[in-house]
Structure 1
């Protein structure tokens, strides 16, 4: 049995990595048993937080981190299907109206968090935006926000939204709940598409790093992967074990940067974060009600489509219930892509008008 050290900075790096791996596996298993979304990210991040607060000196190297960004971009690209584009083409005015309403509401809540001085700089803006939480954490860190606090805000909201959405799905769909899917970690796969996927990720990582653009590897992989996937030129093959490694690298990169001071700040801001999450969920529910009243969309489809959680957790719930999955994923995907495009300039605009840099130092 490995004794638990009081401080980790005194341990050799190999011992620190071993402890990190063991804690990550244990936390991820517990979260998975509790059916918590993104357990393979949250578990390693939680392990990183424990070691970071205890003074660990290990860090994720830049090269594997950029590679993880590229794989994350391809993973999101694989979810953009022709059915999503068809649904968007059919209902684009409504989808864009709902998407921009949610973005404006979340931006106002982020602005309010800054005014309340709950979070420093543009951290509150990135933490309040709905989308793919992992991507938001990556981009926030690349654009100068505190990725640790952004991760805390994003995944706290994802946990709340996913739990509530599961309850709503159970109530409205008269089911016994969202089934917990069996995960095939090492499925049979076609070696050629897998090799092409790795090659594409490598090219995007190299080019993205060379451009020195924040989150360049992830954004390039997202754009290139989506175009090639929709054109039928590339089949993106990302087995579960590879994505588990990817999420672990991203989670460790965030968690290991936590310190006792930053963790204390997050908990001091918790009441305001809870209020912000509750207001955004309530606003999204109002939008869902408007969709049901104006378009005749069933209530569960409308609720999941406007839900401000992560795309992965919403996709799992949608696929497990009798809803219009293409419409749900069209709205979720378009919202994420718009935030990806307007996020950096909008964050800078908010920071400039509020003089956040001067206020927080």
Structure 2
């Protein structure tokens, strides 16, 4: 299994100079981006760097990405979402609150049931499966899990491997939907240097730079994405700012996000979890399929279009889903997607520790 997941040991970048590794990572990222783009995949600017970073990680590359550009990239993505939204996001929640809550909690219930079943079958140590199956807040779930008798390495692998699977599958679903709904549709070509309002661009940068340390001080879950999103939404609604993000800045941010996800998969971690790979992969696919079924039910019984319903119920990776939604046709309801993803993020942070407590209580009661 280790041989299946990792390249042969002689295929290593361990002894390459750091400059060569960075150069190689950039060139391979460009190659994969062009490859995904040639397949007409939404979010190719995210998937390309992510694919390259995974390849470099399992080949023992020593490319380390600072947390600062990743935090900045999350802030840019938050502003990108806010630019495409209005206070319609609140209207969506109030108007369709039964549908909304049903969609949010159905995904959480499905993920918790899968995690609980894997825990009961003792396929993973302690409460690892509960934390690994949580549909969102991957970084927070990984960090919190160590305090709850879970294997942090296995949780990290489950969380970030799920993010990758969700991003890739959601991109394929979006591409298939666009092709079937409009055979002549193609992803719009990017104008890299459009005319720009420099004053609003400076305000947008200031918002991101100020929001990041505030979210850190306040310990807001996923705050580097959510605080610029909601602050930008309010300021734009009040007319104080018109969020301005040039394509080059968005491409940089997508690259930082893709690298950050992919570089978490070192050869050591992949080798460590190799014996559990099929269980992890099966659990993730089942979770995605069941959430997809909930999306189908949501689309069937409501006014929501199928692609919006699918992206809204996709289990986690809200920043990746935001990028894919922004790359999809105009009729995609991004307000509904981001509202459901955001509320589910909060619900996940509350529900998983509670489920862990119940699991511990049940185990102690069984021993007694």
TM over 0.5: yes
Matched, 1:285 2:308: no
**CA separation in 2, counterparts of 1:141 and 1:183?**
36
2:352 equivalent in structure 1 = 347
Alignment TM-score, normalising by the size of structure 1: 0.78
Q: 1:82 deviation in Å?
A: 3.6
Q: Is the 8 A contact 2:115 2:129 kept in 1?
A: no
Matched, 1:256 2:256: no
SS of corresponding position for 2:133: helix
**CA separation in 2, counterparts of 1:25 and 1:118?**
37
Q: 1:107 deviation in Å?
A: 4.0
Q: Is the 8 A contact 1:71 1:201 kept in 2?
A: yes
SS of corresponding position for 2:240: coil
Q: Number of residue pairs matched? A: 331
Q: 1:211 deviation in Å?
A: 4.1
Summarize the alignment of residues 106-117 of structure 1 with structure 2, pairs less than 5 Å apart.
106-115=111-120, 117=123
2:214 equivalent in structure 1 = 207
1:69 equivalent in structure 2 = 74
2:5 equivalent in structure 1 = none
Matched, 1:226 2:233: yes
Alignment TM-score, normalising by the size of structure 2: 0.77
1:40 equivalent in structure 2 = 45
Q: 1:169 deviation in Å?
A: 5.5
**CA separation in 2, counterparts of 1:41 and 1:55?**
22
Post-superposition Cα deviations, 1:269-315, rounded to whole Å, max 9, x if no partner, equal 32332233222212321232222xxxxx3xxx442232134244345
1:306 equivalent in structure 2 = 309
Residues 170, 20 of structure 1: CA spacing in aligned structure 2 closer, same or farther, 3 A cutoff?
closer
**CA separation in 1, counterparts of 2:75 and 2:326?**
21
**CA separation in 2, counterparts of 1:43 and 1:157?**
15
Matched, 1:332 2:301: no
Q: 1:59 deviation in Å?
A: 1.0
List runs of 5+ in structure 1 lacking aligned partners: 130-135, 292-296
Summarize the alignment of residues 1-361 of structure 1 with structure 2, pairs less than 5 Å apart.
6-115=11-120, 117=123, 120-126=128-134, 128-129=135-136, 136-141=137-142, 143=144, 146-168=155-177, 170-171=179-180, 173=181, 175-176=182-183, 178-211=185-218, 214-263=221-270, 265=273, 267-268=277-278, 269-291=280-302, 297=303, 301-307=304-310, 308-309=313-314, 310-319=321-330, 325=332, 328-355=333-360
Residues 282, 177 of structure 1: CA spacing in aligned structure 2 closer, same or farther, 3 A cutoff?
farther
SS of corresponding position for 2:63: coil
**Cα-Cα RMSD:** 3.2
